[in-house]
Amino acid sequence: MIREKILIVEDNKALSKLITKKMESSLDFDIDAAYSFQEAQDLVEKSNDYFVALLDLNLPDAPDGEVVDMILSHKIPSIVLTGSMDQEIREKILKKDVIDYVYKGNIDDVNYIFTLIERLHKNRDIKVMIVDDSMVTRSQIKSLLHHQMFKVLVAAHGEEALAFLKDNPDTKLILTDYLMPVIDGVELTKEVRKHYSKNQLSIIAMTASNQDLISAKFLKIGANDFINKPFTREEIACRINNSLDALEYIAQIEDMAQNDFLSGLANRRYFFDEMREYFAEAKKKNEPFALGLIDIDNFKQINDTLGHRVGDTVIVELARVLKKHLTHEHFVARFGGDEFCVVLKNSEQKKALEFFIKLKSAISGLHIKTKEAQKVSITASIGVTFNDLGSLDEMINQADQALYISKNNGKNRVEVA
């Protein structure tokens, strides 16, 4: 796979090398560096497929920002670097079709570059919807969102927005005006919140209205943020990025709470939360299902003789095999250590038993290569039970008894209890 590239045009070689070194260590991009207008021009004439360019506003052979216009003419998204900042320079930069500008004041300013590039890289997969009855406003915000590399949806009022949201349920942010025909921003926010929480989809309300407390009204009914018109490009861009950062942080926290950090599978706590609900539902519908406890044979010996790093590799590889053999309807979790639990939903006993026998064979055929160039072969014992018991806890205990029998009967076996 060809890695994407970033172009840095900066005549301060020490700063250029610092940025390049930090980028290479923290971002998955190849870096091309130029120290003059001419070098930059030579690079883009050879290849202009850069993800983004970082451009010094004042170069020895281009003191008035000529490099910015040249790079933009090649349709390369650009971030301007400047060593001096006043209102005149800021307005001059923002008149150009650039993503943003960064003041080269200290290391915190340089670090902002990496945060911005990471944000842009994520934005390409994010859908943002603009809802505003003003064609001019829609056009302005759409242009800004395209600069930020979002996938953009545009609606003229709330009713149209709800139709678009139905077709695009993975939308992550809605920017909505307040006063609109058909369905206004308040009613749109209420309707969206019936289906999406604030942690799933962010809403930023916008208004030029002078009505008292309208911002409080929006926030109380579920908006994540509020912005008054007119607003600057920088203000709305920062608010958008802050809202999306918050969504991502919450998603990371939820993932950490639900998933095992090593295997990537559901953890024991999440398993019981989900399965108690499913158990009750399956009982009502008389839906058959099977539960299997899987334990790696001689795992302690692997850890003791080859080390915990190899043991971790074994856990990760077994999790990969489990995920490969299960459909989205089934459920798998790591209970802890070398023990896993698999639930085959809506599965008759004969078919479930056949599955676990095949799974045992797939595990015993697994030959794991470690970083130390060692090859480790493993087997697993499996204890299976079915949902003819009164509770999920009873099923777990019965499967555990079957697993104990499997271990005592020589391991690498499937036993049913």
Quote the pLDDT of residue 103: 86
Q: Kindly indicate the confidence band of residue 389, based on its pLDDT and cuts at 50, 70 and 90.
A: confident
Residue type, 72: L
133 and 58 belong to one structural domain = no
Burial class of 248 by CB neighbour count within 10 A (0 to 12, 13 to 18, 19+):
middle
Round the CA-based radius of gyration of the chain to a whole number and report it. 28
Q: Is residue 360 part of a domain?
A: yes
Q: Is residue 262 part of a domain?
A: no
Find the mean pLDDT for residues 344-352.
94
Look at residues 78, 98, 121 and tell me which one is the last residue of a structural domain: 121
417 or 265, which is more confident: 265
Q: Where are the alpha helices (DSSP H) in 124-232?
A: 135-147, 158-167, 185-193, 214-220
CATH number of the domain enclosing 305: 3.30.70.270
- Statement: residue 105 has pLDDT above 80: no
- Statement: residue 1 has pLDDT above 70: no
Q: Strands across the sheet with 290-296, in order?
A: 331-336, 339-344, 290-296, 380-386, 414-416
Q: In total, how many domains does the chain have?
A: 3
333 and 242 belong to one structural domain = no
Q: Is residue 232 part of a domain?
A: yes
**CA-to-CA distance for 341 and 190, rounded, in angstroms?**
40
281 and 406 belong to one structural domain = yes
337 and 287 belong to one structural domain = yes
Q: Is residue 363 part of a domain?
A: yes
User: Residues 305-342: pLDDT tens digits?
Assistant: 888 888 999 999 999 999 999 887 799 999 989 999 99
Domain encompassing residue 105: 5-121
111 and 141 belong to one structural domain = no
278 and 240 belong to one structural domain = no
In a 13 Å sphere around the CA of 111, the CA atoms on its Cβ side amount to 3
**CA-to-CA distance for 401 and 395, rounded, in angstroms?**
10
270 or 368, which is more confident: 270
Look at residues 200, 217, 252 and tell me which one is the last residue of a structural domain: 252
Contact 16, 10 (CB under 8 A): yes
Q: Is residue 24 part of a domain?
A: yes
pLDDT mean across residues, the chain: 92
- Statement: residue 368 has pLDDT above 90: no
Q: Is residue 315 part of a domain?
A: yes
Q: What are the CB-based long-range contacts (under 8 Å, 24+) for 137-140?
A: 137/177, 137/229
172 and 238 belong to one structural domain = yes
Q: How far is CA 289 from CA 274, 363, 381, 386, 399, in A?
A: 14, 22, 20, 6, 13
Q: Kindly indicate the confidence band of residue 372, based on its pLDDT and cuts at 50, 70 and 90.
A: low
- Statement: residue 209 has pLDDT above 80: no
18 and 114 belong to one structural domain = yes
Q: Is residue 133 part of a domain?
A: yes
High-pLDDT (> 90) share of the chain, %: 75
Q: Is residue 314 part of a domain?
A: yes
234 and 305 belong to one structural domain = no
User: Residues 14-59: pLDDT tens digits?
Assistant: 889 988 888 888 788 899 999 999 999 999 999 889 999 999 999 9
Find the mean pLDDT for residues 235-242.
94
285 and 353 belong to one structural domain = yes
Look at residues 192, 226, 252 and tell me which one is the last residue of a structural domain: 252
- Statement: residue 217 has pLDDT above 90: yes
200 and 227 belong to one structural domain = yes
CATH number of the domain enclosing 225: 3.40.50.2300
- Statement: residue 373 has pLDDT above 70: no
47 and 145 belong to one structural domain = no
Q: Kindly indicate the confidence band of residue 135, based on its pLDDT and cuts at 50, 70 and 90.
A: very high
Q: Kindly indicate the confidence band of residue 110, based on its pLDDT and cuts at 50, 70 and 90.
A: confident
- Statement: residue 244 has pLDDT above 90: yes
